[in-house]
Amino acid sequence: MSRKYRQQGYQDDERQRPERTGERKPKGDGRPRRGYGPREPRVVNMPAFREVLKCARCGASLSSSIRFDTQCAKCAADLHSCAQCTWFDTSRTRECAQPIPKRVSPKDARNSCTFFEARVTVERETHSSVAAPPSAAPAARRPPSPAAASARQAFDDLFK
Kindly list the domain boundaries of the chain, sorted by start residue: 47-125
pLDDT of residue 9: 65
Which DSSP helix (H) or strand (E) runs through 54? strand 49-54
Task: Write b or e for each residue in 128-140: b if 16 or more Cβ atoms lie within 10 A of its Cβ, otherwise e.
Answer: eeeeeeeeeeeee
The per-residue pLDDT for 22 is 62
Residues 142, 133 contacting (CB under 8 angstroms) = yes
Is the overall model pTM greater than 0.75, yes or no? Answer: no
Residues of the chain predicted below pLDDT 70: 1-28, 30-43, 128-144
The neighbour count for residue 52, using CB atoms within 10 Å, is: 12
6 CB-contact burial (10 Å; exposed 0-12 / middle 13-18 / buried 19+) = exposed
Residue type, 21: T
Per-residue model confidence as pLDDT tens digits over 43-56: 677 778 888 999 99
What is the predicted pLDDT for the residue at 11?
A: 60
